[in-house]
């Protein structure tokens, strides 16, 4: 599972799930979408026509995205709420590997939330915090989170990727 968030107009955490046997091929397919001299795909930096193409390309991949939404809260309240709900789902669904884009401002708190949540479950996945440019599958989650914070037609364009939306507030 590959997780990124958007913090504009609410808090949106997107978690892309790829079957273990498909991770390498899916990662390679996403990396192939980079433009020359581009280090990573970051939806904020893309033009609308490129965003639409990327969403279409991502929808062809064998993955599913869950979106966790918290509105009306400050980031310091919304992030732990979303991360705890995500971690509960990870443990219950027995996800083996969890990758969250590293955010230096919340790294220590994130580790504590995950450790506390997983301590209450028999299944404890391996988790890591790569930088965005290090893990292409984070880019899919970035795209979906961006679409949800933009709302309107962007949510519809991301819908082929989304398997569930969990509204927490």
Q: What pLDDT score does 103 carry?
A: 87
* Averaged pLDDT, 148-168: 97
What CATH architecture is 2-167?
2-Layer Sandwich (3.30)
Among candidate residues 92, 56, 67, the one with its CA nearest the CA of residue 4: 67
For the segment 21-27, the average pLDDT, to the nearest whole number, is: 97
Domain boundaries, the chain: 2-167
Q: What is the pLDDT of residue 169?
A: 83
pTM attached to this predicted model:
0.95
The partner residues of 98 in beta bridges, in order of sequence, read 127
Q: How far is CA 137 from CA 40, 56, 144, in A?
A: 10, 15, 12
User: What is the per-residue pLDDT across 37-59, written as a single tens digit (0 to 9) for each?
Assistant: 999 999 999 999 999 999 999 99
């Amino acid at each position: 599972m590959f997780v990124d968030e958007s913090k504009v107009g609410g808090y949106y955490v997107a978690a892309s799930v790829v079957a273990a046997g498909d991770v390498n091929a899916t990662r390679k397919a996403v990396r192939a979408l980079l433009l020359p001299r581009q280090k990573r795909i970051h939806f904020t930096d893309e033009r609308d026509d490129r965003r639409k193409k990327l969403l279409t390309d991502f929808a062809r991949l064998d993955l599913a995205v869950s979106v966790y939404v918290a509105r009306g809260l400050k980031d310091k309240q919304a992030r732990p709420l979303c991360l705890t709900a995500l971690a509960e789902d990870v443990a219950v669904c027995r996800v083996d590997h969890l990758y969250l884009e590293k955010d230096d401002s919340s790294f220590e708190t994130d580790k504590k939330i995950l450790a506390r949540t997983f301590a209450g479950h028999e299944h404890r996945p391996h988790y890591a915090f790569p930088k965005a440019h290090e893990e292409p599958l984070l880019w899919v989650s970035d795209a979906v989170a961006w679409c949800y914070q933009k709302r309107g037609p962007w949510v519809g364009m991301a819908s082929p990727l989304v398997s569930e939306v969990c509204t927490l507030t």
